[in-house]
RNA sequence: GAGUCUGUAGCUCAGUCGGUCAGAGCGCUUCGUUCACAUCGAAGAGGUCAGUGGUUCGAAUCCACUCAGACUCACCA
């Protein structure tokens, strides 16, 4: 053996050996008890970050431990398309080339992104291998594989048949310039000087001591025609009287009533807010909470519709001007703050104004699924570790609204819904015409100039009116149909990930390994991801997709803050792998947190475990050296520890021998116990101290000084204790333990440590 | 604004049911080391457990409040 353990020399070699030996392939036909983890799929075009490393370290620890204990183990690897994240990465790349997504038709854009992702996909797969993850590569899945898409589409069809799918208005950021929506992340805010108009609202039948008018400040007077309510803060005693009163809408003269909501800031303006659910994000939420009507005022062309009365057909800015004029004529303006500064949303590309308005989106009714996802705790079907995270899950699921599952992005699974273009002439299409120019118009207008085929080929996106008729089908149902351009929310597909990867509904894997044993992931996605998987699992199979959920903490930077590119404190795991090795990095990270709390990147612990690898390496060397020095070799081997040997040697064994053997059993029990409780840091600690303090510092020193028969007994026991420690350590430090195992003469048929958990 | 968590040695953190819980690693100090390992060994210093009050025979642990910090969600008409 070399004098030092050189991780660079061995890690690649061992990893290759595991891969070629196909040791991690699960057998669905096996009689052994199943143990299964589905790897939370990293972004296919992404790179390994410290969170991924921790995730893999913990899961590999569980997987190797259970495999060694004799379970039929399956760990399914996969990568996610990560819809929006990938598309923005890609668009940044396009921007560098002086292009944008609006230069492409939908299909070309999709194909180009796919190519980009496939080119980058192997990097993360390679990193998973490098980490020593004992996943079953034969079952690898990508979120946009045909099988994945089939499962997701089938689920959508089932939901539709069960009456769970509907289309409804949903507030989105809409750009008139591009004729499409922008996600929240694509919106930036621009400072802008806007008139803050203080408008008088006439109180209907005021009491003697009450004012005749109340005053409301607004920057959007043009939306007044569709306002039906005003809001006050429930803590604002001075305005309580308004709750029993009505006021007149200053533009339509219709009566309006009041609601109470904490969202209202008592200090701002006059402490009274007009609520426009159709055209303001906050108001939309308030409106939903109080079940207020959503009345659209602004059209996809950026003009006011017939609800605007005198303002109809004007653009937003024209209407605003006109509204102020009308109010002035009616003498309903108290004052105007011309200097008011606010921020307006603009799209990240052109800086053009983006309007918040409601357009039809696809929704899933969640009522039934939500209840199922909450009841799992009562029956004890699901346990969350650490337990205090349960409340986050429950609170979120309880408050869950119907789920808007459509996204106006290309990179994802296209919703399998089709509109008949003759029945729905008002569908708004954005498409590149045959000469490559971007057009925004209705399908009817488009078809007057071009064939349906031409429009379809150039299409970027479409928006079908709320009442549009549609057919759900995987294939084009007829000549005159055009497919919905929206894709599913990433969580809609990743929420089915355990089902997708295990081949729901009737594969052997599904029968053997579903429900899986544990879901291990970061707590940050407990609401968005974990809850969705529970919902889909319950809905489709009647069973929770995993028995336990273990949530690890987030690895923060060394300075205690969250890692972020802008802070420049992102830790690249590759550097640590290079310097200290995968084993030290894995074990250091695992021991960084005992209870699932966030923790700072534990650099000191990684260095500590790096020293530890060298220590156990030298323990092995020294032990082999002592055995050799005592004259043992292949012809005259050192006896193995066994029941027989023990009986013969018992009378000559001394206190230290019994002690180390007892401590070995204690340590095995403790490590098992801690792993079973998901207390991984404690398990690390137990092995570390047993090997270093008990074996190296005490027992080896003792054996070193012995002679004759006593020395032989010492060496026999030492080797036995050491090899069993190696086994225990293997799930934590798979590489070095495998290397040393290969160097050791041992009484065991299996040349690999991977299937040998110690007996007590 | 709503919610969750945290405050224990110089640093990073354990401390599970209120009673051998004042702990670990790193760092620091002193000494040692041709004979496995300086990525080593031996010994040692250090904390009013954020603060105040309460419950209890007993509190780092339970409760209330205060102070400080982190994160999640929402966000100004």
CA A388 / C1′ B16 distance in Å:
14
Question: pLDDT digit string (tens) for A340-362?
Answer: 777 677 776 667 778 888 888 88
Query: Quick check: A268 CB within 7 A of strand B?
Result: yes
Assess whether pLDDT exceeds 80 at residue A497. Answer: yes
Assess whether pLDDT exceeds 90 at residue A363. Answer: no
CA A204 / C1′ B77 distance in Å:
23
Residues A617 and A699 in one domain: yes
Query: Quick check: A615 CB within 7 A of strand B?
Result: yes
Residue nearest to nucleotide B14 (CA to C1'): A594
CA A52 / C1′ B74 distance in Å:
29
Residues 678-707, chain A: which have Cβ under 7 A from strand B? 679, 681-682, 685, 692, 696-697, 700-701, 704
Nearest nucleotide over every DNA/RNA strand to the A616 CA, judged by C1': B37
Q: Among A308-312, A350-354, A482-486, which is the least confidently predicted range?
A: A350-354
Query: Quick check: A270 CB within 7 A of strand B?
Result: yes
At residue A368, the 3 state secondary structure works out as: helix
Residues A293 and A433 in one domain: no
A87/A23 Cα distance (integer angstroms): 36
Q: With pLDDT > 70 as the criterion, what percentage of chain A qualifies?
A: 97
Q: With pLDDT > 90 as the criterion, what percentage of chain A qualifies?
A: 49
CA A264 / C1′ B68 distance in Å:
30
Residue nearest to nucleotide B3 (CA to C1'): A392
Query: Quick check: A8 CB within 7 A of strand B?
Result: no
Question: pLDDT digit string (tens) for A68-105?
Answer: 999 999 999 999 988 777 877 788 888 888 888 888 99
The CATH number of residue A722's host domain is 1.10.730.10
What is the complex's ipTM, to 2 decimals?
A: 0.91
The token pair at A692 is: 């270093």
Burial (CB < 10 A; 0-12, 13-18, 19+), residue A238, is exposed
Residues 335-364, chain A: which have Cβ under 7 A from strand B? 342-343
| Domain carrying residue A465 | 416-485
* CA proximity to A328, closest of A275, A220, A250, A273: A250
Question: pLDDT digit string (tens) for A117-154?
Answer: 988 889 999 999 999 999 999 999 999 999 999 999 99
- Alpha-carbon distances of A11 from A469, A575, A581, A618, A712, rounded to whole Å: 59, 15, 8, 18, 34
Residues A340 and A452 in one domain: no
Of A277-281, A445-449, A587-591, give the range with the top mean pLDDT: A445-449
Residues A349 and A456 in one domain: no
Query: Quick check: A618 CB within 7 A of strand B?
Result: yes
State how many domains chain A has.
3
Query: Quick check: A396 CB within 7 A of strand B?
Result: no
∠A684-A685-A687 over CA atoms, to 5°? 70
Q: Is residue A310 part of a domain?
A: yes
C-alpha neighbours within 13 Å on the C-beta side of residue A454: 14
CA A676 / C1′ B65 distance in Å:
39
CA A335 / C1′ B4 distance in Å:
44
Last residue of a domain, one of A328, A355, A382: A355
Query: Quick check: A747 CB within 7 A of strand B?
Result: no
Residues A344 and A425 in one domain: no
Query: Quick check: A674 CB within 7 A of strand B?
Result: no
CA A676 / C1′ B15 distance in Å:
19
pLDDT at A348: 63
The token pair at A259 is: 């609601």
Alpha carbon of residue A67 to chain centroid: 27
CA A592 / C1′ B13 distance in Å:
8
Q: Write down the H helix ranges in A419-522.
A: 443-449, 452-458, 490-494, 497-502, 508-513
Query: Quick check: A3 CB within 7 A of strand B?
Result: yes
* Residues A489 and A75 sit within 8 Å (Cβ to Cβ): no
pLDDT at A71: 96
Residues A430 and A295 in one domain: no
Residues A426 and A320 in one domain: no
Q: Is residue A170 part of a domain?
A: no
Mean per-residue pLDDT for A15-22? 92
Residues A207 and A344 in one domain: yes
Residues 147-186, chain A: which have Cβ under 7 A from strand B? none
* CA proximity to A130, closest of A731, A734, A743, A753: A734
Q: Is residue A296 part of a domain?
A: yes
CA A562 / C1′ B71 distance in Å:
9
pLDDT at A720: 93
CA A602 / C1′ B69 distance in Å:
19
Residues A736 and A624 in one domain: yes
Question: pLDDT digit string (tens) for A209-259?
Answer: 888 888 888 888 999 988 888 888 777 777 888 888 888 998 888 898 888
Residues 702-731, chain A: which have Cβ under 7 A from strand B? 704
CA A628 / C1′ B34 distance in Å:
21
Residues 558-587, chain A: which have Cβ under 7 A from strand B? 560-562
Residue with tokens 């379809």: A456
Q: Is residue A136 part of a domain?
A: no
Which residues lie closer than 8 Å to A547 by C-beta, 6 or more apart?
Answer: A381, A382, A383, A515, A516, A517, A518
Query: Quick check: A610 CB within 7 A of strand B?
Result: yes
A251/A81 Cα distance (integer angstroms): 49
A704, containing H or E segment: helix A701-704
Question: pLDDT digit string (tens) for A688-708?
Answer: 999 999 999 999 999 998 988
CA terminus-to-terminus distance, chain A:
29
Last residue of a domain, one of A304, A330, A355: A355
Nearest nucleotide over every DNA/RNA strand to the A610 CA, judged by C1': B39
Is pLDDT larger for residue A441 or for residue A286? A441
pLDDT at A48: 85
Residues A333 and A225 in one domain: yes
Mean residue pLDDT of chain A comes to 88
Query: Quick check: A625 CB within 7 A of strand B?
Result: yes
Q: Is residue A153 part of a domain?
A: no
CA A273 / C1′ B32 distance in Å:
78
* Chain B nucleotides with an atom closer than 7 Å to a protein C-beta: 1-6, 11-16, 24-26, 36-37, 39-42, 70-72, 74-77
Nearest nucleotide over every DNA/RNA strand to the A602 CA, judged by C1': B12
Residues A625 and A729 in one domain: yes
Nearest nucleotide over every DNA/RNA strand to the A395 CA, judged by C1': B3
Q: Is residue A427 part of a domain?
A: yes
Whether the upstream peptide bond of residue A24 has omega within 30° of 0, thus cis, is no
Residues A292 and A431 in one domain: no
Assess whether pLDDT exceeds 70 at residue A185. Answer: no
CA A192 / C1′ B29 distance in Å:
63
Last residue of a domain, one of A456, A485, A514: A485
Q: Is residue A152 part of a domain?
A: no
> Does pTM surpass 0.90?
no
Assess whether pLDDT exceeds 70 at residue A589. Answer: yes
The CATH number of residue A271's host domain is 3.90.740.10
CA A396 / C1′ B3 distance in Å:
11
Q: Is residue A168 part of a domain?
A: no
CA A405 / C1′ B16 distance in Å:
42
């Amino acid at each position: 053996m070399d004098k030092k353990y050189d991780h660079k020399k061995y890690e690649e070699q061992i990893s290759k050996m595991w891969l070629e030996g196909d040791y991690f392939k699960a057998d669905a036909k096996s009689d052994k008890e199943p143990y299964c983890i589905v790897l939370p799929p990293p972004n296919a075009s992404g790179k390994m970050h410290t969170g991924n490393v921790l995730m893999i370290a913990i899961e590999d620890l569980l997987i190797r431990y259970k495999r060694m204990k004799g379970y039929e183990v399956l760990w399914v690897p996969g990568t996610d398309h990560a819809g929006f994240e990938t598309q923005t990465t890609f668009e940044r790349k396009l921007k560098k080339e002086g292009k944008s997504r609006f230069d492409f038709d939908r299909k070309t854009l999709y194909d180009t992104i796919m190519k980009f992702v496939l080119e980058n996909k192997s990097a993360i797969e390679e990193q998973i291998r490098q980490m020593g993850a004992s996943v079953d590569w034969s079952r690898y899945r990508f979120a946009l594989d045909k099988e994945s898409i089939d499962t997701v589409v089938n689920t959508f069809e089932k939901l539709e048949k069960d009456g769970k799918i509907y289309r409804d208005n949903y507030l989105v950021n809409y750009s008139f310039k591009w004729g499409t929506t922008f996600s929240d992340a694509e919106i930036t805010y621009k400072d802008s000087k806007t008139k803050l108009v203080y408008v008088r609202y006439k109180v209907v039948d005021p009491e003697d001591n009450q004012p005749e008018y109340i005053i409301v400040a607004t920057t959007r007077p043009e939306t007044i025609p569709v306002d039906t309510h005003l809001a006050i803060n429930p803590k604002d005693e001075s305005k309580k009287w308004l709750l029993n009163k009505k006021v007149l809408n200053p533009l339509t003269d219709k009566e309006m009533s009041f609601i109470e909501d904490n969202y209202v800031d008592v200090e701002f303006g006059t402490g009274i807010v007009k609520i426009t659910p159709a055209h303001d994000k906050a108001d939309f939420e308030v409106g939903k909470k109080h079940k207020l009507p959503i009345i659209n005022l602004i059209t996809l062309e950026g003009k006011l519709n017939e609800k605007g009365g005198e303002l109809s057909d004007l653009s937003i800015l024209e209407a605003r001007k006109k509204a102020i004029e009308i109010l002035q004529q009616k003498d309903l303006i108290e004052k105007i703050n011309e200097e008011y500064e606010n921020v307006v949303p603009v799209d990240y590309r052109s800086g053009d104004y983006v309007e918040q308005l409601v357009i039809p989106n696809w929704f899933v009714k969640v009522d039934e699924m939500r209840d199922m996802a909450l009841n799992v705790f009562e029956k004890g079907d699901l346990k969350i570790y650490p337990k205090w995270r349960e409340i986050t899950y429950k609170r979120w699921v309880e408050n869950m609204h119907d789920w808007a599952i459509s996204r106006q992005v290309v990179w994802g699974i296209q919703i399998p819904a089709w509109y008949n273009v003759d029945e729905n002439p008002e569908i708004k299409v954005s498409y590149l015409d045959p000469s490559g120019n971007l057009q925004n118009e209705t399908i009817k207008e488009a078809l007057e100039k071009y064939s349906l085929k031409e429009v379809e080929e150039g299409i970027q996106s479409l928006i079908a009116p709320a009442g549009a008729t549609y057919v759900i089908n995987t294939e084009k149902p007829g000549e005159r149909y055009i497919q919905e351009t929206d894709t599913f929310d990433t969580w809609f597909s990743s929420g089915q990930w355990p089902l997708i990867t295990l081949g729901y509904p009737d594969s052997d894997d599904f029968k053997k390994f579903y429900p899986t044993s544990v879901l291990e992931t970061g707590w940050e996605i407990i609401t968005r991801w974990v809850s969705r998987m529970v919902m889909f699992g319950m809905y489709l199979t009647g069973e929770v997709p995993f028995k336990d959920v273990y949530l690890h903490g987030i690895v923060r930077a060394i300075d205690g803050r969250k890692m972020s590119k802008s802070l420049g404190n992102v830790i690249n795991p590759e550097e640590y792998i290079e310097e200290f090795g995968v084993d030290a990095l894995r074990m250091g990270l695992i021991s960084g947190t005992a209870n699932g709390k966030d923790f700072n990147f534990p650099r000191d612990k990684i260095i500590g475990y790096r020293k530890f690898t060298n220590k156990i390496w030298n323990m092995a060397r020294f032990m082999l050296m002592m055995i050799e020095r005592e004259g043992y070799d292949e012809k005259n081997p050192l006896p193995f520890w066994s029941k027989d040997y023990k009986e013969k040697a018992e009378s000559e064994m001394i206190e230290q021998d019994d002690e180390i053997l007892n401590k070995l059993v204690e340590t095995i029990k403790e490590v098992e116990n801690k792993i079973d409780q998901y207390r991984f840091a404690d398990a690390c600690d137990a092995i570390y101290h047993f090997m270093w303090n008990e074996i190296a510092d005490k027992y080896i020193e003792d054996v070193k000084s012995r002679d004759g028969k006593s020395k032989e007994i010492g060496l026999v026991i030492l080797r036995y204790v050491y090899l069993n420690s190696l086994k225990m350590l293997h799930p934590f430090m798979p590489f070095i333990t495998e290397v040393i195992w290969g160097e050791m003469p041992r009484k065991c048929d299996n040349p690999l440590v991977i299937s040998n958990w110690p007996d007590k």
